[in-house]
Every structure is written in C-alpha cells, then in structure tokens.
C-alpha cells in the first residue's frame, strides 16, 4: 500500500537512518570513538536516554551533538505525526484488511465473482447475500469506499476485471460462477473470454448494453446474457398488463432465501435408489411440503408444471418451490 502517508513515513525513516549513520561516522571522525561506541552514543543521544558520555566531548563534538539532537527531534516529531495520521486516516486498517483478504483467498472455493459495483452489480450482490453465497467483488473505481462493502462479509479486490492477474487474484480457478456487470460491452466481452480460458467449467453471467452484443457474448462463452434495459422495459409492460402476476413472481424471486425459495436440483445428485424414478415416486409434496414446478430435460427443453409420470434422467434438473424449511427437507429426502 503506497498511500501518500506511507510514502512520507518511509522517507522520514530513511532520514532517521541517515542521521544515525551521520552521527556514527561523525563521532568516529571528531571524537575518535570506535564504530560500536560511536553507534551507541548516537543512539542514546537521539533517543535522549541520558547516559553519560564515554569521555569529555570536544568543542566541535558538542556542536555536533546539538545539531544531531535538534535534527533527530524534528525527524521523530514528524514520524510520530505521520504515524498518527496513518492510523487515523484508515490506511493502517486497509493494510490489515488487505492481509486478511489474502489469507482468506488462499483457501476460498465455490465462490461467486462479481465484476463491477454499479447499479446492476450491487443488486446482484444483495441477492447473493440473501442466499448466503461467498462473494468476491472486483472493482476498479479507486474512489469507491469499500469499508461498508467489506463489513457485509464481501471480499473486495481493487483492480481491472479484464486483467488476467486480477481474475487470478480472485481465484477464478476455484470459483463457481462469475457475474460481469461492467458498463462497456467490450469490457464484458473481454472478461467472458478471459474467464472461460482460465476456467472452462465456470458459469458465466454477463450484462449486455446493446442488443447486438448478446450473440457475441454467448459465442465467447457466456452461459447467460442479461440486457437490463430490455428486462426493465418488459417488466414495466407486464406491470401495466398483469401487475399482480409480476408482483407475485417478484416476491418469489426477489425475496428468495428469506420467506420462499426457488431452487434448482441436479438429478445426478439425487440418491441412487431414486434415479430413473418418476416425480410421483418421489412423493415430495407429502413428505417435504415443497413443490416441483419445473423440469429441464437432458436435451435442454423446459417443462413447466411437469406431470407426475415425468421420469428423472441423468442431465435433467428439477425446479423446486417452497419455504427454506420445505426446500431443506426436500434436499434431505432426495440428495445423496
């Protein structure tokens, strides 16, 4: 951390070391002391310990001591002032947080990386926090005060998400997913390409500003592309037509993790004796209280409100709706 206060302290410490060197060699030349005696007398003079001199000082030696003491007093005063400013300005705490972050990053895995803390990124982070996800935020805005963000348990890395070294610092190789919400389509495209190259298995969700960028981002490796303007416009139209339906859906999705959850279950993760069974065989509604409201086949087709005779298969997914307790009961019943 090379803040102005840090640089100032380093310069003052260098001046102090220079004074010690000047004092040591000065006493060796003026008073003919040995190197060790000269160093010893310089240190006790600067620190004003008050030991007696090794021998009576010459007139030149006394003048030299006066200059040395005045210089050291001024330097030590500036050092104390700078250290006080360093601690009170928050630089010291930022250094501690940086070291703590590096220690956490050594063992982190299955986290979600969010690139950009703008209006889209901040809302994404809120939803991830509601679902108790581990988050690493990459933000290049040096003026952003990240103290409040870190207080929420979010790891913050200051830097450009388009740079490989920054993504590597965010442990992209261990991440579950990356969400890039940068304001530039070119930057988002670059993040997608770099992320896919560094971790081919990672799930990538990208923001797009222009409609024409959607296809390019998917070709580059994005699993999902969101156009906030299009989504917002469609939502406004739906609110004009069917406001209660939209509010109902938003209560399910926007409040996920608080009162209701809509979760995805991979059929490959269910118990062996339940694989290749039908939804009716699971009997989840009676045993857990949760509802299976959707099904994704292994070929990628979606079935809404699947029938009871829908058969589970490798590569398929279940979409389950319920309270957090009902969803947890459901998972305990069918997952390995």
SS3 annotation, 213-244: HHHHHHHHCCCEEECHHHHHHHHHHHHHHCHH
Domain made up of 109-226: CATH architecture: 3-Layer(aba) Sandwich (3.40)
Q: Which tokens belong to 196?
A: 């896919």
Farthest-apart Cα atoms in the chain, separation: 106
* The pLDDT of residue 171: 92
Can you give the residue ranges of every domain in the chain?
4-89, 109-226, 260-334
Please give the Cα distance from 270 to 312 (Å, whole number): 10
Helix (H) or strand (E) holding 8, with range, is helix 4-30
From first to last of its 336 residues, the chain has per-residue pLDDT tens of 455 666 777 787 888 888 888 888 888 888 888 888 888 888 887 777 656 555 677 788 788 888 888 888 887 777 777 777 766 665 556 666 666 667 777 788 899 999 999 889 998 998 888 878 899 999 988 777 777 787 788 888 889 999 999 999 999 999 999 999 999 999 999 999 999 999 999 999 999 988 888 899 999 999 999 998 888 888 788 888 888 877 777 776 665 445 777 888 888 888 888 878 888 888 888 888 888 989 998 888 899 889 988 888 888 888 988 888 888 888 888 887
DSSP category for residue 40: H
* Residue 316 CB coordination number (10 Å): 20
200/177 Cα distance (integer angstroms): 11
| Predicted TM-score of the model (pTM) | 0.61
Q: Which residues contact 130 (CB under 8 A, 6 or more apart)?
A: 255, 256, 257, 258
- CATH 1.10.287.70 given to domain 4-89: yes
Q: Which of 3.40.50.620, 3.90.76.10, 1.10.1040.10, 3.30.70.1450 would CATH assign to domain 260-334?
A: 3.30.70.1450
CA-only gyration radius of the chain, Å = 32
Residue 104: DSSP 8-state: H
């Amino acid at each position: 951390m090379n803040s102005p206060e840090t640089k100032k302290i380093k310069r003052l410490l260098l001046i102090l070391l220079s004074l010690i060197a000047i004092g040591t060699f000065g006493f060796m030349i003026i008073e003919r002391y040995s190197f060790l005696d000269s160093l010893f007398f310089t240190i006790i003079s600067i620190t004003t310990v008050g030991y007696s001199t090794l021998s009576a000082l010459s007139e030149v030696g006394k003048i030299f001591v006066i200059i040395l003491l005045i210089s050291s007093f001024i330097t030590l005063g500036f050092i104390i002032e700078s250290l006080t400013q360093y601690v009170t300005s928050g630089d010291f705490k930022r250094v501690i947080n940086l070291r703590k972050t590096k220690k956490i990053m050594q063992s982190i895995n299955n986290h979600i990386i969010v690139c950009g803390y703008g209006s889209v990124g901040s809302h994404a982070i809120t939803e991830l926090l509601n679902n108790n996800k581990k988050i690493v935020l990459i933000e290049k805005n040096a003026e952003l005060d990240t103290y409040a963000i870190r207080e929420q348990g979010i790891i913050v890395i200051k830097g450009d998400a388009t740079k490989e070294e920054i993504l590597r610092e965010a442990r992209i190789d261990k991440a579950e997913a990356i969400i890039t919400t940068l304001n530039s389509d070119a930057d988002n495209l670059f993040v997608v390409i770099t992320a896919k190259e560094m971790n081919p298995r990672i799930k990538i969700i990208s923001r797009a500003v222009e409609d024409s960028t959607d296809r390019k981002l998917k070709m580059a490796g994005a699993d999902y592309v969101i156009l906030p303007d299009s989504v917002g416009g469609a939502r406004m139209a739906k609110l004009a037509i069917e406001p209660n339906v939209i509010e109902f859906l938003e209560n399910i999705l926007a409040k996920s993790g608080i009162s209701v959850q809509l979760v995805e279950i991979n059929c490959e993760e269910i118990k062996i004796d339940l694989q290749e069974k039908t939804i009716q065989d699971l009997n989840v509604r009676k045993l857990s209280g949760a509802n299976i409201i959707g099904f994704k086949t292994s070929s990628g087709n979606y079935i809404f409100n699947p029938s009871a005779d829908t058969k589970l298969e490798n590569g398929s997914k279940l979409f389950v709706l319920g309270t957090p307790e009902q969803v947890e009961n459901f998972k305990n019943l069918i997952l390995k």
